[in-house]
């Protein structure tokens, strides 16, 4: 019994699923869920594999959400073992996706099998929403499945996302929300020329320096009771021909806001555009914006109560409730009105060479998920 989560995690790691590939992971999970009584629907969009599975009828609909795709492994020579070959070294299981998030998928699956076996007359229903497009563009994954569910009239009440939320030990941190993510691009258009004749050209780098510095040092807000402060980070700067004696004609700047509920994406866009309008008018600035996700927050309620109680029961911990970190597919689920939390393994090794998960925390994770189901559906 106690090897079930370990074995399934290994089976999933052994299936190479570099985003947006699934590598057969969803088919493996689907077979087990079908045996457990689920109605499974595969929903491919473009190159992305998605799966929606459901068992039971009525409310509440409690959903486990996750992804089978993983980030590229990086230089293979730096791995202590092949990244898509589950390998035990000491107390850890190594492999790409071990922590992010194939161990969570395995624990969710086993927890649900056990719950249904022990409580066939449970109330409500259980769903699984799994995609292979979380680590990539995230356009043909969970967002598309949510659109499909909305068209079908299916409403998710509560959702546990299996992202690796924990910090030092399993269950010490639960994500109850995420900041929004707004990507931006500014193209400063000046006039190319010879560096010896700056009066005959217009250097977009010089024109942009002051304005960009002010954006970088600006205090956008101080955060609030639930979220850390909004941040602005420049991620890419590109200009020039490669020649030292040519004033560039254009400067391309890419940046990102991670923003809390003190702002809307529209507010931030307007602030940046208005700020640039007040600088060198010889320079044309062209903007392009992409909203990756709005901020979301799950406050105290049935789901959070069940999650906290389950963690205390299994691990004797009072978890920190956090909104820090990057984005997750919870940003597509929360706008439907669902309560959303993230609970998963320790995130210390995610996206790194030699990604791993502590073997002794696999079974407790399944017990937490099973305990949550019991508290919500029994």
The set of catalytic residues is 69, 134
DSSP 217-266: H-------SSSPPPEEEEEEEEE--S-TTEE-SEEEEEEEEEE-TT--HH
Measured from the Cβ of residue 289, the count of other Cβ atoms closer than 10 Å reads: 15
Asked if 155 and 335 count as a contact pair (C-beta separation under 8 A), the reply is: no
| Contact of 158 with 303, CB cutoff 8 Å | yes
CA distance 32 to 5: 13
Sheet containing strand 125-131, edge to edge, reads 39-42, 50-56, 125-131, 61-67, 158-161, 339-342, 173-175, 320-322
Residue 188, beta-bridge partner list: 251, 285
Rounded to whole angstroms, the Cα distance separating 220 from 214 reads: 11
Q: How far from 214 is each of 109, 181, 186, 233, CA to CA, in Å?
A: 49, 20, 15, 12
């Amino acid at each position: 019994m106690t090897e079930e989560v370990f074995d399934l995690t290994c089976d999933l790691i052994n299936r190479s699923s570099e985003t947006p590939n699934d590598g057969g992971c969803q088919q493996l999970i689907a077979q087990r869920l079908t045996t457990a009584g689920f109605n499974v629907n595969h929903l491919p969009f473009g190159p992305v594999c998605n799966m929606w599975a459901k068992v039971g009828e009525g409310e509440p609909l409690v959903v486990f959400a996750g992804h089978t795709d993983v980030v590229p492994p990086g230089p293979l020579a730096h791995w202590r073992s092949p990244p898509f070959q589950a390998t035990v070294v000491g107390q850890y299981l190594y492999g790409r996706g071990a922590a992010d998030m194939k161990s969570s998928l395995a624990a969710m699956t086993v927890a649900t099998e056990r719950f249904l076996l022990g409580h066939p007359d449970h109330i409500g229903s259980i769903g699984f929403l799994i995609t292979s497009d979380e680590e990539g563009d995230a356009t043909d994954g969970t967002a598309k499945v949510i659109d499909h569910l909305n068209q079908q009239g299916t409403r998710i009440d509560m959702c546990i996302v299996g992202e690796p939320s924990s910090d030092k030990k399993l269950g010490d941190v639960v994500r109850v929300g995420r900041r929004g993510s707004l990507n931006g691009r500014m193209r400063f258009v000046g006039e190319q020329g010879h560096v010896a004749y700056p009066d005959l050209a217009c250097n977009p780098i010089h024109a942009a320096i002051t304005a960009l510095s002010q954006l970088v040092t600006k205090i956008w807000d101080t955060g609030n009771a639930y979220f850390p402060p909004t941040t602005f980070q420049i991620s890419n700067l590109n200009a020039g021909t490669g020649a030292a004696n040519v004033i560039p004609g254009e400067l391309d700047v890419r940046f990102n806001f991670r923003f809390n509920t003190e702002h809307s994406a529209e507010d931030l866009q307007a602030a940046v555009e208005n700020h640039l309008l007040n600088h060198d008018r010889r320079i044309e600035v062209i903007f392009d914006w992409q909203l990756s996700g709005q901020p979301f927050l799950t406050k105290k309620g049935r789901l959070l109560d069940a999650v906290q109680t389950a963690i205390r029961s299994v691990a004797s911990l009072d978890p920190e409730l956090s909104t820090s970190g990057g984005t997750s597919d919870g940003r597509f689920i929360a706008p439907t009105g669902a309560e959303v939390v993230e609970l998963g393994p320790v995130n210390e090794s995610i996206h790194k060479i030699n990604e791993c998960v502590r073997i002794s925390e696999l079974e407790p994770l399944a017990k937490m998920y099973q305990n949550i189901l019991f508290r919500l559906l029994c």
